[in-house]
Structure 1
Amino acid sequence: MADMYNHHTVEKKWQKIWDDEKAFKTENDYTKPKFYALVEFPYPSGQGLHVGHPRPYTALDIVARKRRMQGYNVLYPMGWDAFGLPTENYAIKNKVHPKEVTKKNVARFKEQLHSLGYSFDWDREINTTDPDYYKWTQWIFLKLFNAGLAYKKEMPINWCTSCKVGLANEEVVNGVCERCGSPVVRKVKSEWMLKITNYADKLLEGLNDVDYIERVKTSQRNWIGRSEGAEVDFRIKDKEDKLRVYTTRPDTLFGATYMVVSPEHPIIDKYKDKIKNWDAIVEYREMASRKSDFERTELAKDKTGVVLDGLTAINPINDTEIPIWISDYVLMTYGTGAIMAVPAHDDRDWEFAKKFSLPMIQVVEGSEGPVDIDAAAFTDVATGKMINSGFLTGLTVEEAKEKVKDFLTEKKIGNRKVNYKLRDWVFSRQRYWGEPIPIVHCDKCGYVPLDESELPLLLPEVDSYMPTDNGESPLAAMTDWVNTTCPCCGGPAKRETDTMPQWAGSSWYFLRYTDPTNTEALASPEALKYWLPVDWYNGGMEHTTLHLLYSRFWHKFLYDEGVVPTPEPYQKRTSHGMILGENGEKMSKSRGNVINPDDIVKEYGADTLRTYEMFIGAFDLSASWSDDGVKGCRRFLDRVWKLQTMLDKDNDGYSKDLETKMHQTIKKVSSDFENLKYNTAIAAMMALINDFYKKNSITLGEYKTLITLLNPVAPHITEEIWEIIGGEGRLYEQSWPEYEEAKTVESTVEIAVQINGKTKVTLSIGKDDAKDDVLARAKEALGDRLDGKNIIKEIYVPGRIVNIVAK
């Protein structure tokens, strides 16, 4: 052996061997038990990997390697989520085609991942920008369109005045674009939408059948937001129109003292001539247009609004005339765009009413009776008796809910209603670098899908990727590509020039991994039946809501279409915590605390980085980076290497004094790897190594077991040691160590031997030794300490202490 472990030589050696031997190529043997491990594929940015990437990749690599040793046919794939705005912006700035930018970034990412020794099957690599891949993304879209789940709709979007593109709510911060800092305004655009709302109940019900950590299920349920309530019609006084609201608390109708509508509500423009303060309304709408939906609904913000002077509504429960306000906290895209306000029982309504001196009526009595609602909000009373509520007075809240729903239905002024917070998915983007939407528009036939035989509809080459001032995609300027014929009537038609969002390719990528070169289908039925569902999917908490919801929606749709064999795509979903800078802050260039994994690999080795990222702390929690921690993990690996100097090559079993510790360690490491407790698994191996160093000896059998347990974490060094000590074949091909439960229980215990309650020596005894034998050995161990003393009493607490009471 070499005196020092040279990670430069060893890691390159084994990475080449694995490549040459295709060590981790997934077999198409559908008779073996399968295990499908999946990590979220990365967006290949120009910055390359950061140290946060290896944490989930290493975690699932550990499980994948362990499963192979346990005889499973393992699928552990990797690919690239490569469409999207960052690449397009880079291309615009540097005048380089996005395709070339993507190619360069992918090569960089792949080189970095390769240097970390992951057991990905690179023969199954996919890329969302590959026409052979996005052909099937387009195919799924056509299926959705033909099923009536894809449609076009005019709607307001967040519009960056500089990037000239629509932004998601989370991309708008304090009214400006997160990327460029330019003002963001609300702009009405015709957008492609997907009817994810049709699957709301299926998405909720499916959560009962999967193994997701609870906070992931909670985030999904909250986003879908199913609630039961009633729709209620409020007449506009002296007009034919009505304002329909949805409420989960129809029992509080007698407490509705005003209404609020969204600034975009069509009723405003319809009755423009009747509104006396029109200039104030226009000014307020302009202000609201500069905010994202998130900013408008944030509960902590100051409430703003303007009364619609000239329009009032009639509360249908008691025919009371109430004012109508506009306020930006009501969204046209959520519910009906109008709410009834019950300020005595809702924080938001109470704050609004307090600010604008609007009346409040308490209609539910709390446990302590009426309160001073002018002094403090009396909010969200879910129990108690109704007061000030006409025919509902005296009823419980639940009784009142049912009675008023019957009343609304009987009087035809409302109805029972199940509602969802979930909105249909805005699916189109006015940008170049995305999948073309395979639809044409014909003045005669409307929106017409391309025939499947014409897929993929290729993204054309363009001279300019610059966004347009009118908000259209750069593709709109390519008249030769845009102008086409209608597949239905053969007449003139125009192609859709919006492209799909980055979400599209990531919503089904896990399916393509099962059969990535199939030209006849997105994957063969045989492959899908064998590999689905994904057994274990790990990703960031930031993707456990929308990405997970979108991909589950697409999968459930494909299940209904008979394309996939399972109703859920992922059986198990876990999430990891972020790695923070040494100062405990999120890593970012502006803070100057970004760690490049290449630097760690170069100085300390890939195995050190892998070990450290698993040892840094509890996997599901955030943890701060520590250079000292990295050095400590390197010292641990060096100690594993130096065990060769004390190796008893003639003993291929376990030494008697460490047999129990060996079986305990196998049990703990095996369990911890399966339960995301990588840090405690590594700690157990560290403790075992300490025992070998105390003895200054390790048997061949013990060394083989140790490096097999460590192999999924640190594959390079352990393969090298296996070869040096004469292990047969490759280490990754060996069977996972097994333990015997009976041998995990200690057969001996250390007890204290005391004289008059003071410990003098310790004694190792068999846990089942007889009392007389233990006492005899204890007195023998005390030796001359008992000379001249009169023993009064001998006490033995089994397995704990011997106490000799003497004078």
Structure 2
Amino acid sequence: MDAKRVEAKWQKKWEETGLYRFNKEDADNKLYCLEMFSYPSGAKLHVGHWYNYGPTDSWARFKRMQGYNVFHPMGFDAFGLPAENYAIKTGVHPQDSTFKNIETMERQLKAMGATFDWDYEIKTCMPDYYKWTQWIFLKLYEAGLAYRKEAPVNWCPSCNTVLANEQVVDGACERCHSIVERRNLTQWFFKITQYADELLNDLDKLDWPEKTKMMQRNWIGRSVGGEVTFALDGRKDGFTVFTTRADTLYGCTYVVLAPEHPLVDEITTPENRAAVEEYQKMCARMGEIDRLSTTREKTGVFTGAYAVNPINGRKVPIWVADYVLYSYGTGAVMAVPAHDERDFAFATKYDLPIERVIKSADGGEDALPFCEDGVLVNSDKRDGLTGAQAREAILNELKEQGKGGFKVNYRLRDWLVSRQRYWGAPIPMIHCEHCGTVPVPESELPVQLPYDVNFTPDGSSPLASHEGFMNTTCPKCGRPARRDPDTLDTFVCSSWYFLRYPNAHDGSEAFNKEWTNKLLPVDKYVGGAEHACMHLLYARFFTKALRDLGYLSFDEPFKSLVHQGIILGPDGMRMSKSRGNVISPDGFVEQYGSDVFRMYLMFGFAYTEGGPWNDNGIKSVARFLDRVERLVERAIALRGQKGRSDEEVEYVRHRTIQAVTNDTEKFQFNTAIARMMELVNALYKYEGEGNVDGTYLEAVVRDLMLMMAPFAPHFIEELWEKMGYPYSVFNQKWPEFDESKLTRSHVELALQINGKVRGRITLPSDATQEQAKAAALADEKIAAMLEGKEIKKVVVVPGRLVNIVAK
């Protein structure tokens, strides 16, 4: 079959007839299938795109044939840093390169033959989309969920920009390798922490991979403990720490502040100032991920100041250490080296006191650090209490004294959303000398991103130097004012795009409440596991916030989630241009057609696992499709011929329908295709034995084509037409299996002598092991081979074989 001609023919017909257009009149029967949309930073689709979109499209086709009204949109996550970095490097404007790449990727996605309904396409860099991103920002601001404050950030002095934690590797910028600094900048945040408990608790009701749910649980990091306030020796003020082990408070021998903590500069004594300042500079050059590494040796410096332990009045030294972050918790920790591994290592290194206050419940003196729960010792009136009893007693006492109390803490921090870059949605806020920070009126949205901007980083936001953009009037007082020069993190755009698809071209509102509540949440969402703690968490936050604001009536954006595995390079490493191991799908699609390539991706890899690329199997998939085509031609040729049906074929037919249905539902495409291959083999055997019933052969081949249609859509559409069936195969009903046909009346057993197959016999499927043994020994061919030999034993594997061990 000429794949190029056939694919072009059917893509044209599908488009002309609107085969995959979503039927709005049947919304009650909807199934919303969605892949994470692509970022058009590269010029073409790569194998990873294909692996995400091709198999998921097959699943969507399968659900359509099961009777669902499938809503399957596509768009582009078009803002972001890669396009801007490319522009800086080449001089090509981000808008120009992005639109050019989108045009290429649209063409490739259509050539894939997917069921995307392009009537609902969105591009997040278009004003008709980011107008509503800005509107959501304003709604969050009105609700107190968006706010502005000064915060420490990673700053690359060479690129002149803020870096995300993930962009800092070993303290250096991943792009230019300059040493990164820590700076305080005024930033915009979303108050995601307000939803920490709900984000945590609602994970239990989601059909998501358990590993992903566990990653989010750990990222949110709920800790039940207490706050303890330490007074500063010689001063009236103090600081607070959070701890889950208040029972160890008597063993606190020092406390630690983050280098960025504002108290550090206030309390450091003159003789220690030079060392502390040098240490602060060193820490400013490190990324948060490096500082929190469990394998990296902890360092610190003494401030010369002391704090007072509120439970016993003991003075303890105040240290500064890199493993404490000002943006985590309170930016201060109490150190109990006898009962914490990190504190123990630090105290040992700097010769600080290590004092046991917990022993094991059985009374043993376990080696230090002893980090488990136990019984208190050396803890004054608390001696003998269990850890749980002591935690409650100590926190109650501190609460009564106004020095602490019970507290739930989270690892999750508020989401920093402002970026000092150009290619993003402008933040819709205005700064007025008289009125302060004022939101842009909704009637003036979108705040459009100007084209004529010098986007080469110079240490400030590129928009800040565009006077035409920056100069405006205050909506409150009408006096001259300045726009916010920052743009929004691109994750803001992707945190609600699934809500926009059903309303893609509605200029009057971001989404219609009634219509969105009917089509959402997404029934099946497919994308990479690397988004577990960013996009997937942010989308859940947006959904819950918009629900509370009255715009949605559901709690979660994605009911069911599937992560595709990663196709590695032939060398077993992740594909990258620098390694030279990137595989382009274009050559394979050109040579074999998109159906063969799609089927190979689905057959050659377990979908959720992926693996190293190896194209050896693609030819066998092409040969399989050739066999199916010949089978269809044979079914046409034998129409009307009378003959016998076949019990074995009937069994394989219904077992295949059952298995393919179950496996496709679970995204186990490789095993589904293997089952279809078994059916093809059974049909070839049946046809080769003669006396074929043409009507029966056609009926089984028809079922085979229906099952194969989602996996090789153009190929099967062509064969369906060749069979004379009505257009389209995708308007047909998915085949159903007959439970009664899943058992055989007879089974074929292999006959082995000393493990080698020497013959076969057919017996009733309910034959006993003794009957199978007797039949095997009575077989004339076997009996002749055993003549003169001593039979040692006979092993029967029911339904499969009889092995005769003889000498």
Please indicate, yes or no, whether the TM-score normalized by the shorter chain is above 0.5: yes
- Residue correspondence of structure 1 range 204-243 to structure 2 within 5 A: 204-243=200-239
CA distance in 2, matches of 1:220, 1:445: 40
483-492 vs 81-90, greater mean Cα deviation: 483-492
What residue in structure 1 maps to residue 721 of structure 2?
Answer: 723
**2:274 equivalent to 1:286:** no
CA distance in 2, matches of 1:655, 1:451: 74
1:483/1:767 CA distance change after superposition, 3 Å: same
1:578 equivalent to 2:578? Answer no
Matching of residue 706 in structure 1 with residue 701 in structure 2: no
Task: Note if 1:477 corresponds to 2:465.
Answer: yes
Q: What's the CA shift for 1:743?
A: 1.3
* Counterpart check, 1:616 vs 2:604: yes
2:344 is matched with 350
Q: 1:284 to 1:68 in 2, by over 3 A?
A: same
- Inter-CA distance 573–258: structure 2 relative to 1 (3 Å threshold): same
Is 1:295–2:290 an aligned residue pair? yes
573-582 vs 615-624, which deviates more? 615-624
Work out which of the residue numbers 48, 58, 61 in structure 2 matches 1:62. Answer: 58
Q: Does 1:437 align with 2:427?
A: yes
| Aligned twin of 2:317 | 323
Distance 1:645 1:295, change over 3 A: same
Deviation at 1:237, TM superposition (A): 0.8
Q: How large is the Cα RMSD of the aligned pairs?
A: 2.9
Determine the C-alpha separation between the residues in 2 that align with 1:276 and 1:88: 47
For 2:227, give the aligned amino acid: E
Relative to structure 1, the CA distance from residue 217 to residue 803 in structure 2 (aligned partners, 3 Å threshold; closer, same or farther) is closer
Partner residue, 2:360: 366
State the SS of the aligned residue for 1:571: strand
Per the alignment, in what secondary structure is the counterpart of residue 487 of structure 2?
coil
Say how many residue pairs are matched: 795
Separation in 1, partners of 2:183, 2:754: 87
Whole-angstrom distance in 2 between the partners of 1:804 and 1:628: 39
1:24 aligns with one of 9, 20, 25: 20
Q: What is the CA–CA distance in structure 1 between the aligned matches of 2:186 and 2:755, rounded to whole Å?
A: 85
Q: Percent identity?
A: 47
- Show the counterpart of 1:625: 613
What is the match of residue 445 of structure 2?
Answer: 455
Which piece of structure 1 moves more, 89-98 or 398-407?
89-98
Instruction: Identify the residue that residue 331 of structure 2 maps to in structure 1.
Output: 337
Cα deviations by residue, 1:697-726 (Å, 9 ceiling, x for unpaired): 582222221122111111111111111222
- Paired residue for 1:687, among 642, 661, 678? 678
Unmatched runs of 5 consecutive residues or more in structure 2: none
Distance 1:357 1:368, change over 3 A: farther
Q: Distance in 2 between matches of 1:239 and 1:651?
A: 103
**C-alpha deviation, 1:160, in angstroms:** 1.5
Secondary structure, counterpart of 1:277 in structure 2: helix
In 1, the alpha carbon distance for the partners of 2:129 and 2:754 equals: 80
Deviation of the 1:768 alpha carbon: 4.0
Deviation at 1:368, TM superposition (A): 6.9
> How does the TM-score come out when normalised to structure 2?
0.93
Matches within 5 A, 1:252-267: 252-267=248-263
Deviations 1:59-88 (A, max 9, x none): 321111011111111011111000011111
State how 1:763-778 maps to structure 2 within 5 Å: 763-768=761-766
**Kindly tell me: are residues 772 and 56 of structure 1, through their superposed partners in 2, closer, same or farther at Cα, counting changes over 3 Å?**
closer
SS at match of 2:24: coil
Going from structure 1 to structure 2, the CA distance change for 1:60 and 1:798 (only over 3 Å counts) comes to closer
Shift of 1:392: 1.9
Whether the 8 Å CA contact 1:654–1:702 is kept in 2: the answer is no
Q: Does 1:308 align with 2:303?
A: yes
In structure 2, relative to structure 1, the CA distance for the partners of 1:770 and 1:369 (3 Å cut) is closer
Describe how 1:544-693 pairs up with structure 2 within 5 A: 544-647=532-635, 648-650=638-640, 655-693=646-684
Match of 2:110 among 107, 110, 114: 114
1:178 CA displacement? 1.4
| Partners of 2:755 and 2:473 in 1: CA distance | 99
**Contact 1:160/1:166 (8 A) holds in 2:** yes
> For 1:136-285, what aligned pairs fall within 5 Å after superposition?
136-272=132-268, 274-285=269-280
Structure 1, residues 287-311: CA drift from partner, whole Å, max 9, x if none?
10011111111111011111112x0
1:558 and 1:194 map into 2 onto residues whose CA distance is 13
Give the TM-score of the pair, scaled to structure 1. Answer: 0.93
Q: CA deviation at 1:518?
A: 1.2
1:446 pairs with 2:431: no
CA distance in 2, matches of 1:133, 1:677: 36
Cα distance change on mapping 1:15 and 1:166 into 2, 3 Å: same
| Partner Cα separation in structure 1 for residue 798 and residue 125 of structure 2 | 70
SS in 2 for 1:705: helix
Q: 1:347 to 1:803 in 2, by over 3 A?
A: closer
Q: Is the contact between residue 30 and residue 530 of structure 1 (CA under 8 Å) also seen in structure 2?
A: no
Q: Is the 8 A contact 2:28 2:518 kept in 1?
A: no
8 Å CA contact 1:761–1:782 kept in 2: the answer is no
SS in 1 for 2:578: coil
Q: Given that residues 537 and 574 in structure 1 are in contact (C-alpha distance below 8 angstroms), is that contact kept between their aligned partners in structure 2?
A: yes
| Cα pair 2:230 2:308 within 8 Å, conserved | yes
Give deviations 1:657-695, integer Å, cap 9, x for gaps. Answer: 301100100111111011121111111112222222333
Residue in 1 that maps onto 2:95:
99
Deviations 1:66-116 (CA, angstroms, capped at 9, x unpaired): 111111110111110000111112222322222111110101111222222
Counterpart in 2 of 1:408?
398
Aligned 8 A contact 1:371 1:378 in 2: no
> Which consecutive residues of structure 1, in runs of 5 or more, have no partner in the other structure?
none
Conservation of the 8 A alpha-carbon contact between 2:20 and 2:115:
yes
Range moving further from structure 2, 766-775 or 100-109: 766-775
Indicate if the aligned counterparts of 2:146 and 2:190 stay in contact, CA closer than 8 A.
yes
Letter in 2 for 1:99: Q
Secondary structure of the 2:303 match is strand
Task: Give the Cα–Cα distance (whole angstroms) in 1 for the partners of residues 214 and 448 of structure 2.
Answer: 40
1:356-397 Cα shifts (integer Å, max 9, x gaps) = 111111222136755575xxx52431x322222222221111
Contact 2:646 2:686 survives alignment (8 Å): no
Shift of 1:633: 2.3
Q: CA deviation at 1:779?
A: 7.9
